[in-house]
Structure 1
Amino acid sequence: MRWSDEHLYERILAKDASFNGRVLTGVLTTGIYCLPSCTARKPLAVNVRFFEDEAAAQAAGLRPCKRCKPDAFYRGEDADLARLETTLAQAAADPAAFPEVEALAEGVGVGVTKLKDLFRDHVHFQPAAFLQRVRIQRACVLLAAGATGLSDLAFACGYESASGFHEAFRRQTGLSPGAYRSMLGADRFVLPRPERLRVEDVLAFHGRDPLSVSERVEGRVLRKAFLFEGRPAVLRLAFGESDIEVTLTGATGAAAMAKAHGATLRLLGWTGDPAAFEAAHPQLAHGREGLRVLFTLDPFEALVWAILGQQVNLAFAYAMRRDLIRLAGIPAAEGLIAHPDANHLAALKVEELQALRFSRRKAEYLLHAAGEVASGRLRLEDLATATGAAKALESLRGCGPWTAQYVLMRGLGFRDCVPVGDAGLTLALQRWFHLETRPDALETLRLMTPFAPHRSLATFHLWASLKGTPA
C-alpha cells in the first residue's frame, strides 16, 4: 500500500470518495469494514486498520458496513447514486416539485447532510446551487416556448417571489428575463463581461489553433461555426471593455437564439466563478486571478478532441481535427466549417480516417464513440453526475480515465476532476511541489486532494503555470 496510515486516516476523516476502490477502512472495535467516504462517526485511529481489498478485510474477520455498503460498491452497485440520478432528472424536468433542499433529500431517501455529501462526491456543487440552476434552465425553456407572464413563470419554476427569480435569472444568464425574451426574437444580444474575465485567455484557448477551420480569432473577436438542427451557423463574440456583443448568422428563431446564448455562456466559462478557489488557494492562483475553466461549445466536441489528443502532440492533434472537420463538417458563412455532429461522424468509414493519418485504432475509437452518441445509447446531455458520466465514458472503446476526466471538465462542466496520467499535469505538479520525479497516478491523486472540491480549476492553474499552449 502506497500511503501511510496517517494519510489514509486523514482521508477517511475527510470522507474522501476519490479513495473509494483504492483502500478499505477496517474498524476493529465494531468488526466492520467501510469505504473511505463512509459518513458514519469516525473511529479512533488506534482502532483502524487499512486493507487493499475486500478479501483482505474479510480474511481479518470483518463484515461490510450497512451504511456505506462497500460490498455493493465493489460489485459495481450504488443505490444512493442511482436514487440521486433519478431525483436529479426529476428536478430538472419539474423544479417546482422540489421547492427546497429538503425535498431533494426526501427524493433521494437520505438526510440533508448525506445529500450534501452525495452532491459533493458526484455532482461537484451544493444542492441549493443545483436547484437554482435547474430552475433557471427550466425558465429559459419555457421562455423559448413562448411563455409571457414572468410572475407566473417564476412560480412555475419554483420561485416564491418575482424579485428572487429576476436576480437568480440575471446571475445565471447575464440577462433579465425580459431581455432574454427579447433576445429570442432578435439576431444579437449583449452580455456584461463577467468580473475579472480574462479575455486574453478566452481568445487564446478558442484560437489555440491559428489554422482552425471551425473557429477564428481576429483581434478581440471570436467566430465559431456550429450546427443547429443540422444547419450551419456562425456565432460571433466581440469583446468590449465592459460587455460582449453576440451575433448569430445562419440560423434564426427562438430555439436558435437560445442555443446561441447557451453556447456563449459555455465558451466564456460563465458558471465557473473562481472566487472560492482563489480564496482557498491564493498561492496557486497568484498572478492568474480570474482564470476559469472554459468549455467546448458542446460535450460531443470535447469528446472528439479528447480522443484525437490521446498520446499525440498538440500540433498533430490540431491537424487531425482540421482534416476531420473538412471531411465531415458542413461549410458555414465567412469561410468557416461547422464541427460535425455524431451522426455525420458515425457515417464515416475507418479507411476514410486512415487516409487522414489516423491510426486504425484511433479511427475505430472515434467512430465507436460517434456511433454510441448518434444512436442515443450515450446521451451526453443527460449525464448528471460525474461518477455516472465517468463510468459511461470509460465504457467507450479506447476511452480511459484521462479521456473521461477531460470530457467531464471541458465538455460537461464538472468542477472536481483530475485527468490522471496527463503529462502536463504531472510536470506541473513536479515543479509546484519540487519533486525529484514526476508523480505516478496514485501520487497525482494524493497531491491534488487538498484542492478539492475545485480540482478542475486547480488543474487549469497547474497547466497554466507551465506557460504553454492552452490545453
Structure 2
Amino acid sequence: MPTEYRQQLTLELPDHFRIQDFLDFHRRDQQALAERVSTNSLTKGLMLSGVPCQLEIGFNADQINVQLTAAKEPDPQSNSLSALAAHMLGLSQPIQQFEQMFSDHPQVGSLLRQNKGLRIPQAASAYEALVWAIIGQQISLTAAISIRRRFIQAAGQLTLNGLYCFPDPDSVSRMDPADIKGCGFSNAKIQALMRLNEWIQATPTLPNTLTTETAKQLNEQLLSIKGIGPWTVSYALLRGFNWLDGSLHGDVAVRRNLQYLLKMETAVDARYTEQWLQPFSPWRALMAAHLWAQQSSSGY
C-alpha cells in the first residue's frame, strides 16, 4: 500500500466570486479524464515537480477548501499550495478596479454590472496554458477538447486514485512523436510543441504573474518559436500568467460578441476590434472575457 502525502488549507471566498465560471472552465471535457467537477468542487490531476498530484478545490458559503494528495511530497521549495490555488482561482486579478474604472462606460457599463465579479480562471500551470493554446489553433473547441483528452491519456501520468494528469515538459519529452500525432496533432503543431518544450527546459522557472516589462519580454520570446503566433501567445498569457492586457482582437468569438454588443449589422474585423479594445488597456483581455461571457458563461 503506497504512502500518501496530503496538504490542506482554507482560503476566504471573495465577495461576488463567480464559482460557476471557475467550475465551467474545468468542466469542458465531459469524459472527466483529468478533471472531475461536481456541483461545488473541482478535482484535478496535475504534475508538480515530476510528481502526479490530485488537487481538490471545494466551495461553501464563505470559504474555499483546498487539498493536495500525492504519493510523495512535491518539492516544497518550488511548489506552494496556497500560491497554486490563488493562481488558478484568479484571486490576484484587480477586477474591482477594472469594474469601477469603466462602470459608467456607455457601451460596456451595463455588461460589467451584469458580469460583476468576473475573473479569468487559470490553467494549473503556464505550460498547460501554452500547450492548450497550441492544441486550439485554428480548430473548434470540441475538436481541441478531444485532442487534449487523447494527449493527456497518451502521456499516461496517473494519480494514486487513477485520475490522469496534464503532462509536464519532461513527460512530453518522453513521448514518441508518432503517439502525439495519433492524438490528433498536425505535424506543424507537433513541431511547435517540441520547440516549446526545448524553450521551457532551457528557461528558468516561469512566473505565474507578469509585469508590463516581463510580459513584453515573454511575448517576444514566445513569438520567436516557430508555430506560435500572436493569438496563441495572447491566450496563453491570459490563461497561464494572469496577464489581463493581451489584445485578443484575432479571436473570432471576441469579434462576434463585440458585433453583438454594438448591435452592428455587419461583422467587425480584427483591426476594428483591436482599436476598440485599446482604451481598456491594461485590461484588454479582461474586457475580451466580458465579451465572451455576455452570451455564454462557459464560453471563456
Tell me which residue corresponds to 1:293.
120
CA 1:253 to 1:298, structure 2 compared with 1: closer, same or farther past 3 Å?
closer
Where does residue 408 of structure 1 map in the other structure?
A: 237
* CA deviation after TM superposition for structure 1 residue 379, in Å: 5.4
For the 8 Å contact 1:307–1:366, the answer to whether it is kept is yes
Q: Name the TM-score, length of structure 1 as normaliser.
A: 0.57
> What is the CA–CA distance in structure 2 between the aligned matches of 1:218 and 1:186, rounded to whole Å?
21
Kept in 2, the 8 Å contact 1:293–1:456? The answer is: no
Matches within 5 A, 1:112-131: none
Shift of 1:468: 6.0
Q: 1:364, CA displacement in angstroms?
A: 1.6
Structure 1 residues not aligned, in runs of 5+: 1-184
- Is the CA contact 2:250–2:270 (under 8 Å) kept in the aligned structure 1? yes
Change (3 A) 1:378 1:247: closer
Deviations 1:244-285 (A, max 9, x none): 111111143781895322211112111013111111223231
**C-alpha displacement of 1:370:** 1.7
Tell me, yes or no, if the aligned pair for 2:6 and 2:68 is still in contact at 8 Å.
no
Could you tell me whether the CA contact under 8 Å between 2:49 and 2:74 is conserved in 1? no
- Structure 2 residue aligned with 1:218: 38
2:176 maps to a residue whose letter is K
- Structure 1 465/260 Cα, relative in aligned 2: closer, same or farther at 3 Å? same
Residue of structure 1 equivalent to 2:84: 263
Is 1:442 matched with 2:271?
yes
SS at the partner of 2:183? coil
Structure 2 CA distance for partners of 1:372 and 1:378, relative to 1, 3 Å: farther
Which range is displaced more, 249-258 or 364-373?
A: 249-258
| Aligned residues with identical type, % of pairs | 31
* AA of the residue aligned to 1:291: L
Asked if 1:465 is matched to 2:294, the reply is yes
Measure the CA separation in 1 of the matches of 2:12 and 2:261.
Answer: 35
Write the deviation string for residues 63-89 of structure 1: whole angstroms up to 9, x where unpaired.
Answer: xxxxxxxxxxxxxxxxxxxxxxxxxxx
Who is 2:106 aligned against?
none
Map 1:255-334; keep pairs closer than 5 Å.
255=76, 258-282=79-103, 283=109, 284-334=111-161
Paired residue secondary structure (1:212): coil
SS of corresponding position for 2:98: helix
Q: Is the 8 A contact 2:156 2:164 kept in 1?
A: yes
Describe the SS at the equivalent of 1:197: coil
Query: Equivalences for 1:29-68 in 2 at 5 Å?
Result: none
1:205 to 2:31 alignment:
no
Q: Is the 8 A contact 1:188 1:245 kept in 2?
A: yes
Confirm whether residue 423 of structure 1 aligns to residue 252 of structure 2. Answer: yes
Asked if residue 398 in structure 1 is aligned to residue 227 in structure 2, the reply is: yes
Picking from 190, 194, 198, the partner of 1:363 is: 190
Instruction: Specify whether residues 334 and 186 from structure 1 end up closer, same or farther in structure 2 by C-alpha distance, changes over 3 A only.
Output: closer
1:381 equivalent in structure 2: 207
Higher relative contact order (CA 8 A, sep 6+): 2
The AA in structure 2 aligned to 1:266 is H
Q: Which moved more, 1:401-410 or 1:260-269?
A: 260-269
Q: Is the 8 A contact 1:188 1:247 kept in 2?
A: yes
Task: Tell me how far 1:442 sits from its aligned partner.
Answer: 1.9
Please state how far the C-alpha of 1:193 moved relative to its aligned partner.
0.4
Following superposition, the deviation at residue 186 of structure 1 comes to 7.0
- Name the residue aligned to 1:336: 163
Report the structure number with the largest CA radius of gyration: 1
Change (3 A) 1:254 1:401: closer
2:56 equivalent in structure 1 = 236
Separation in 1 of the partners of 2:96 and 2:34? Answer: 32
Question: How many Å apart are 1:287 and its aligned residue?
Answer: 1.4
Q: TM-score, normalised by structure 2?
A: 0.88
Match of residue 345, structure 1, among 172, 190, 201: 172
Instruction: Please state which structure has a larger fraction of its residues in helix.
Output: 1
How many Å apart are 1:441 and its aligned residue? 2.5
Q: Write out per-residue CA displacement over residues 407-433 of structure 1, whole angstroms, 9 at most, x where no aligned residue.
A: 111111112111231110110111112
Q: Is the 8 A contact 1:248 1:257 kept in 2?
A: no
Q: Does 1:249 align with 2:78?
A: no
Unpaired runs of 5+ in structure 2? 104-108
CA contact (8 A) 1:403 1:419 kept: no
Distance 1:258 1:367, change over 3 A: closer
| CA shift digits 1:421-452 (9 cap, x unpaired) | 11101101111122333322221111112222
Instruction: Classify 1:281/1:336 alpha carbon distance in 2 versus 1 (closer, same or farther; 3 Å).
Output: same
Quick one: structure 1 residues 321 and 265, their matched pair in 2 at CA, closer, same or farther if it must change by over 3 Å?
Answer: same
